[in-house]
Amino acid sequence: MIRSWNEINYVEVPNGDIMDDSTNVFIIGTDPVMLIDTGSVVGMPVLLETLNTLGNPNVSTILLTHVHIDHAESTEEIRRLTGASVRFHEAELPELAATTTHDIPLDERIEDGEIIEHAGVRLEAVLTPGHAAGHLSFVEPAENWGIVGDLVTGSGSSAVFPPWGDLQDYLDSMQRIADRGINPLLPSHGDPVTNGPEALQHFIRRRLQREEQILELLDDQELSVEEVRDRLYENVPQDLLSDVTGNVILHLEKLEREGRITRSESGKESRFSRESLNR
């Protein structure tokens, strides 16, 4: 089903076993159209059916917020079918090279601050790394709303996990969009976030509160990543265990870079503590 916000159309395409949430693919213009993200291969029939409902317009351009499978797996096939030019930020290339699930040609790089115009819609590409190294948000500067990919979701903040995620970058990116007062935020998963700046500040505070919990755990004791995780989170579903573990790793890496905790090696296991700093 085609949904819209302020004359911007988007369709929720399913992701099958990849994840429970659908991905919002944004369709800018009437003919030709510009797509923002394409979704996974399993959701491609829904996207093609939607384009058929819209009269099979020419697809001239595909912009990618980032190259994760649920946002970009079908891009190469959509490009083959339509001849569209594919554009994303070049900081995504190392992660793309490391993936075994899909390949995407980069026809033209997108630069931070670049203005992209299509069918009367004027968007500024804003580099918002953290969830991914080259993650982009697309902001309409006159009306101050934004298509924000996985910067947030309709129900909360996004997962950030190694090796391509960075927690400090993610916090800085949320602050960058909050400082600009962007509202609403149109995420790739879920409904529009209609209290953009307030929601972003809430998500930042929640991450920093988690950080303080980790520091309290590491007072006068050494803990492994798994031990920190198990004390912070109870009854984590097995399918979320990897994401939760990755989140803890990024918190610990950030705190270590800031000199607020120390790391020691015990066999093949890293252990973390504030003990030596508190003496």
Summarize pLDDT for 66-110 with one digit per residue, the tens: 999 999 999 999 999 999 999 999 999 999 999 989 999 999 999
Q: Are 45 and 81 in contact (CB under 8 A)?
A: no
Reduced to 3 states (helix: H, G, I; strand: E, B; else coil), residue 34 is: strand
The fold of 218-278 is Arc Repressor Mutant, subunit A (1.10.10)
What residues does CATH 1.10.10.10 cover in the chain? 218-278
**pLDDT score of 266:** 79
Identify the pLDDT of residue 149. 98
Nearest to 181 by CA among 169, 203, 201, 196: 196
Structure tokens at 101: 């699930």
Is there a contact between 255 and 205 (Cβ–Cβ < 8 Å)?
no
The mean pLDDT value for 114-130 works out to: 97
Q: Is the model's pLDDT at 162 over the cut of 60?
A: yes
- Window from 125-129, 160-164, 200-204 with minimum mean pLDDT: 160-164
Give the per-residue pLDDT at 276: 55
Other CB atoms within 10 Å distance of the CB of residue 26: 21
Q: Average pLDDT of 8-12?
A: 95
Q: How far is CA 232 from CA 84, 216, 223, in A?
A: 46, 11, 12
145 falls in which pLDDT band (50, 70, 90)? Answer: very high
At 265 the three-state DSSP class reads: strand
Lowest mean pLDDT segment, chosen from 44-58, 122-136, 187-201, 265-279: 265-279
pTM of the model: 0.94
What's residue 48's pLDDT?
97
Q: What is the DSSP letter of 188?
A: S
Is residue 218 pLDDT above 70, yes or no?
yes
Q: How far is CA 29 from CA 108, 122, 147, 187, in A?
A: 20, 11, 15, 19
Q: How many other C-beta atoms can be found within 10 angstroms of the C-beta atom of residue 211?
A: 18
Task: Give me the residues paired with residue 8 across strands.
Answer: 5
Angle of helix 241-257 versus helix 167-179 axis, rounded to 10? 90
CA distances from 3 to 80, 87, 148, 272 (A): 26, 24, 17, 47
Q: What is the pLDDT of residue 107?
A: 98
Q: Name, in order, each residue with C-beta under 8 angstroms of 9's C-beta and a sequence gap of 6 or more.
A: 2, 3, 26, 27, 28, 54
Question: How far apart are alpha carbons 276 and 35 in whole angstroms?
Answer: 52
The CATH class, in words, for 2-208 is alpha beta
Closest C-alpha among 7, 51, 42 to residue 22: 42
pLDDT of residue 272: 96
CB 135 within 8 A of CB 66: yes
Whether the upstream peptide bond of residue 163 has omega within 30° of 0, thus cis, is yes
Strand residues in 145-244 grouped as ranges (E): 145-149, 185-187, 223-224
User: Considering the chain, what is the average pLDDT of its residues?
Assistant: 94
CATH 3.60.15.10 domain span(s) along the chain: 2-208
Task: Encode pLDDT of 224-277 as tens digits.
Answer: 999 999 999 988 888 788 889 999 999 999 999 999 999 998 788 899 999 655
Q: In angstroms, how far is CA 166 from the centroid of its own chain? A: 11
Quick check: 72 and 38 in contact, CB under 8 A?
A: yes
Choose between 4 and 85: higher pLDDT: 85
Condensed to tens digits (0 to 9), the pLDDT of residues 172-194 reads 999 999 999 999 999 999 999 99
Asked if 255 and 215 count as a contact pair (C-beta separation under 8 A), the reply is yes
